[in-house]
């Protein structure tokens, strides 16, 4: 029997208060006043669903070696490529083995739990990394803009050192078009809220819950945490009452602090439950989107051996306020700005060169001299150590998981960036190696010479004319 062996969470650095949205758009839609409470997580301009999925996947590797991962399932409704293996890009950034099977799950908001069920049902002994991430867009001034947030979570599924055993699962599939988006659509579309509630929400969620519990011979009163997505805060409370749940059985949905993170939300809520779970606890996870998935787990004593069980709170605490609504629109690509001639120019990407240098780009792989042990980036034929200069004695050496320190840094107010000023710095890696990087998720005042930094996988540019997203690594202040 398979189960969960590790988990990870990623929430972006920026938070946008809903009252900021309302102040900017109240002239257009004063009816959203009741939603203008709390805040939501907002991806930085250099983030998308793929980079967030990579960050969540990285968070798993404190408890499982990446070499044990044999397959990757990436779930999202907002994958950057409609025709290109997004999972393959993520696998490269996660520095997984070339033999890893990578797959994309998409199309509806239960894609994350569907990927999880697929991994749990796999008959082999593989360890599957399941990453769920979303970065959805809604039109300015609507209710969905207030509710949607960005985020990602990841789970490792295997049959050894299981922290949460699978008891059972049950799924339904309906062509219920509560949310939809064509390939040509930039923003999600939704139908009338009352119809979504009465025809779908209050019927479909109890249906799968009753079915999975009946199959397992378990009463809902015996479940320690019940996880299900909110249509909104009011309807979530209504569902709690309909299901007859006690207050302590209900897992926080984080609408007030993060927002609805799409395919990632049930997995983020599960991660929050795992942070607090004790052996013997039973957790029920439900998702909804073109039907529902329900998955029932039981916590094992192995959970006490995890190195870090404060994953969600750590992400909730590492944040700063995005105070400007226009900046939010700019980050989301919803605001046309005068960016100047240099900002408009995007150098053509050589796909063949990108392929040849894939290790250097995706997994920030340099080299270490086998003769003297000196690391260097990028990889060269000759050792950079003047006391060695060995030739053809290099072995691959990844830097993406190494901590570094800022040797020097600067701010650039002239070159175009979506979040000026542009910050750049030279990083000296612990154990050796030096390179210059863009710096993200901080302000100039946050930086100082010698401070620890870590690497983060980011979107470097978007070439819409040629249909290419360029990814690379940036430096960010170390998240303790």
Same structural domain, 327 and 345: no
Residue 387 lies in a domain: no
Looking at the structure, do residues 45 and 125 belong to the same domain, yes or no?
yes
* Shared-domain flag, residues 298 and 345: no
CA 288 to chain centre: 19
Domain membership flag for residue 276: yes
Domain count across the chain: 2
Start-to-end C-alpha separation, the chain:
35
Q: Does residue 326 share a domain with residue 345?
A: no
Length of the chain in terms of residues written: 480
Whether residue 327 is found in the same domain as residue 349: no
Q: Are residues 264 and 348 in the same domain?
A: no
pLDDT for position 377: 96
| Residue 61: exposure state from Cβ atoms within 10 A (0-12, 13-18, ≥19) | buried
Q: Within a domain: residue 382?
A: no
Helices 111-121, 265-276: crossing angle, 10 deg rounding: 60
**Do 316 and 447 belong to one domain?**
no
pLDDT for 123: 67
Decide if 381 is inside a domain.
Answer: no
- Looking at the domain assignment, is residue 373 inside a domain? no
pLDDT at 1: 75
Q: Is residue 295 part of a domain?
A: yes
Strands 69-75 and 127-134: parallel
Tell whether 322 and 455 lie within a shared domain. Answer: no
Stretches in the chain below the pLDDT threshold 50: none
Q: What is the CATH number of the domain that holds 132?
A: 3.40.47.10
Q: Quick check: 55 and 9 in contact, CB under 8 A?
A: no
Assess if residue 378 is contained within a domain.
no
> Are 318 and 466 members of one domain?
no
Give the CATH number for residue 434: 2.40.50.840
Verify that 259 and 219 share a domain, yes or no.
Answer: yes
Q: Is the dihedral of CA 303, 304, 305, 307 positive or negative?
A: positive
Strands of the sheet containing 39-42, edge to edge, are 39-42, 14-17, 320-321
Residue 95: alpha-carbon gap to chain centroid:
17
3-state secondary structure of 130: strand
- Say yes or no: 444 and 323 in one domain: no
Q: Which residue has the tokens 């202040």?
A: 477
Residue 453 and residue 420 share a domain:
yes
**Within-domain flag for 453:** yes
Domain ranges, residue 182 = 3-331
Q: CA-CA distances (angstroms) from residue 217 to 170, 213, 227, 297, 435?
A: 13, 6, 19, 13, 58
């Amino acid at each position: 029997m398979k189960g969960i062996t590790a988990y990870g969470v990623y929430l972006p650095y920026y938070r946008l208060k809903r009252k900021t949205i309302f102040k900017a758009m109240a002239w257009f839609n004063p009816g959203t006043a009741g939603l203008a409470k709390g805040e939501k997580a907002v991806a930085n301009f250099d983030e998308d669903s793929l980079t967030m999925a990579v960050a969540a996947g990285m968070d798993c590797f404190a408890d499982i070696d990446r070499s044990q991962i044999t397959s990757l399932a990436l779930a999202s409704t907002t994958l950057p490529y409609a025709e290109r293996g997004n999972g393959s890009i993520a696998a490269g950034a996660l520095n997984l083995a070339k033999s890893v099977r990578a797959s994309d799950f998409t199309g509806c908001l239960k894609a994350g739990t569907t990927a999880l069920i697929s991994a749990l049902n796999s008959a082999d002994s593989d360890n599957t990394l399941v990453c769920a991430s979303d970065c959805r867009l809604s039109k300015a001034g609507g209710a969905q803009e207030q509710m949607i947030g960005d985020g990602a979570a990841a789970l490792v599924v295997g049959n050894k050192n299981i922290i949460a055993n699978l008891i059972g699962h049950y799924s339904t599939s309906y062509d219920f078009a509560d949310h939809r988006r064509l390939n040509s659509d930039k923003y999600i579309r939704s139908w009338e809220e009352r119809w979504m509630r009465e025809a779908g929400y209050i019927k479909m969620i109890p249906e799968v819950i009753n079915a999975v519990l009946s199959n397992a011979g378990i009463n809902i009163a015996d479940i320690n945490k019940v996880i299900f997505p909110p249509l909104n805060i009011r309807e979530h409370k209504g569902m709690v009452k309909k299901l007859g749940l006690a207050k302590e059985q209900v897992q926080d949905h984080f609408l007030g602090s993060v927002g609805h993170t799409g395919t990632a939300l049930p997995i983020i809520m599960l991660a929050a439950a795992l942070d607090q779970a004790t052996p013997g606890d039973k957790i029920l996870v439900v998702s909804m989107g073109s039907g529902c998935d329900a998955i029932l787990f039981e916590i094992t004593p192995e959970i006490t051996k995890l190195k870090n069980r404060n994953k969600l709170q750590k992400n909730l605490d590492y944040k700063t306020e995005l105070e400007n609504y226009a900046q939010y629109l700019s980050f989301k690509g919803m605001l046309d700005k005068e960016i100047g001639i240099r900002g408009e120019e995007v150098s053509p990407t050589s796909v063949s060169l990108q392929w040849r240098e894939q290790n250097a780009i995706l997994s920030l792989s340099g080299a270490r001299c086998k003769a003297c042990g000196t690391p260097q980036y990028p990889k060269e034929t000759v050792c950079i150590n003047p006391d060695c200069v060995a030739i053809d004695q290099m072995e691959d050496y990844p830097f993406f998981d190494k901590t570094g320190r800022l040797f020097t840094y600067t701010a650039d107010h002239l070159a175009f960036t979506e979040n000026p000023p542009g910050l750049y710095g030279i990083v000296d890696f612990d154990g050796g190696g030096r390179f210059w990087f863009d710096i993200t998720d901080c302000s100039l005042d946050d930086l100082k010479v010698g401070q620890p930094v870590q690497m983060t996988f980011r979107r470097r540019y978007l070439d819409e004319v040629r249909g290419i997203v360029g990814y690379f690594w940036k430096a960010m202040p170390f998240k303790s």
